[in-house]
Amino acid sequence: MELLDTLQSIEIDMGRRKVIDKGPRNIDLDILLYGHETVSNDRLIVPHKLMLEREFVLRPLCQLIPNEYHLTEGKGKTYFSHLQALPPSNPPPIAMIPMPAGLPPITPTKPSRNTLLMAVLNVTPDSFSDGGIHSSTDPTVLLETVKTYIDAGVSIIDVGGESTRPNAEPVTETEELSRVIPVIKLIRSLPEASKIAISIDTYRANVAEAAVNVGADIINDISAGLLDLEMLPTMARLQKTVMLSHTRGTPKTMNKLTHYPDGVLAGIQSELAERVQAAEQAGVRRWRIIADPGVGFAKTQDQNLTILRNLDQLRQAEQLEYMPWLVGVSRKGFVGRITGVKKADERTWGTAAAVTAAISGGADIVRVHDVKEMAQVTRMADAIFRPSL
């Protein structure tokens, strides 16, 4: 009963006043379960007697223990089975994914949400569109770029120290660290960047951890833990928001791995769901995971277009529902081939169309190079597809 007293004390301190039984309140703290114990008295019933009737209780509970059984029902139905048996909520519950640096949470089921801009900041000599522009040893251009990004309204700056474009040569871990760590420190030193999240674009666990230690907020792994078996346990231990992308093979082999027997959408659904499940089994909380369909990674041009036409279908896949989605189409090869623009840094118009399609399909975050221009594109697309209610 001491726990109950503590919870009720917190409710009082936060201003809870009971006006209507089962009505809305500014805070509600309940004890759903207490290990495998049952309690029944005039103040407390555990397990909570209404928990199996409430989607807003069962859905997050199923992210923790979906295959456990309710104590008073024996081994009849799991919590996940109870959740599936509930009628759909109208309106549906709003999922919330926490974001760092004072940013509001991502709400992927909220129709009027704003699309977040993720700015690409490559500190590489060989990235496909901006290699060699920024260097960790010469902060002048770097600072100018970062301040331009901030003025344009970005929410996330994605720092990468190794190109993962198709056929890219790998670099050593030491080289990658020498590129990204000074840049993250520099961004974090800027007062105007205090409310900007920094993501580290890496598939190496050691690089991810070193980046987090100097100020990175998000881990963006294009391989979803496939290229470094320590990545998922490291993500779990660091307890940061993570981005898991669908891909196959390595940058050297991905272009040969584009055969999807059941179609690219089914392939992404099943393979990305496997990576999400692996992350959860490693200890990464589902509400910390952002999914990425991996446009341009182990995909043909037609497959990339299929993703953009059917992103909403991916969002509604049972194994991936209620998750936010990151989509990166900026300056990619298929955009250049379709528009006839060979130089990657001149693909702004084609990128704008692809970004608009992604937002129409439900993207929560778009990863872009041309930040000023894409800020206008996202605002316009949001006004069309996500009007405020």
Does domain 2-85 match CATH 3.30.70.560? yes
Residues of the chain with CATH 3.30.70.560: 2-85
- What pLDDT was estimated at residue 311? 98
Residues of the chain with CATH 3.20.20.20: 116-385
- What pLDDT was estimated at residue 21? 60
Q: What is the DSSP annotation of 128-172? A: TTTTTS-BTTBHHHHHHHHHHHHHHT-SEEEEESS--STTPPP--
| Residue numbers annotated as active site | 332, 367
- What pLDDT was estimated at residue 35? 85
User: Between residues 273 and 15, which one has the greater pLDDT?
Assistant: 273
- Give residue 17's pLDDT band: very low, low, confident or very high (50, 70, 90): low
Exposure string for 317-353, b = 16+ CB within 10 A, e = fewer: beebebbbbbbbbbbbbbbbeebebeebeebbebbbe
Domain 116-385 is classified in which CATH homologous superfamily? Answer: Dihydropteroate synthase-like (3.20.20.20)
pLDDT of residue 260 exceeding 90: yes
Question: Mean per-residue pLDDT for 224-237?
Answer: 98
User: Between residues 253 and 25, which one has the greater pLDDT?
Assistant: 253
- Could you give the CA distance from residue 20 to residue 127 in angstroms, rounded to a whole number? 59
- What pLDDT was estimated at residue 74? 67
pLDDT of residue 131 exceeding 80: no
Binning the chain into helix, strand and coil, the percentages to the nearest 5 are 40, 15, 45
The pLDDT > 70 percentage for the chain reads 93
320-371: per-residue pLDDT in tens?
A: 988 999 999 999 999 999 999 999 999 999 999 999 999 999 999 999 999 9
155-188: per-residue pLDDT in tens?
A: 999 999 998 777 778 899 999 999 999 999 999 9
Q: How many CB atoms lie within 10 A of CB 14?
A: 11
Question: Mean per-residue pLDDT for 183-209?
Answer: 95
Q: What is the pTM of this model?
A: 0.86
User: Between residues 260 and 88, which one has the greater pLDDT?
Assistant: 260
- Could you give the CA distance from residue 71 to residue 89 in angstroms, rounded to a whole number? 25
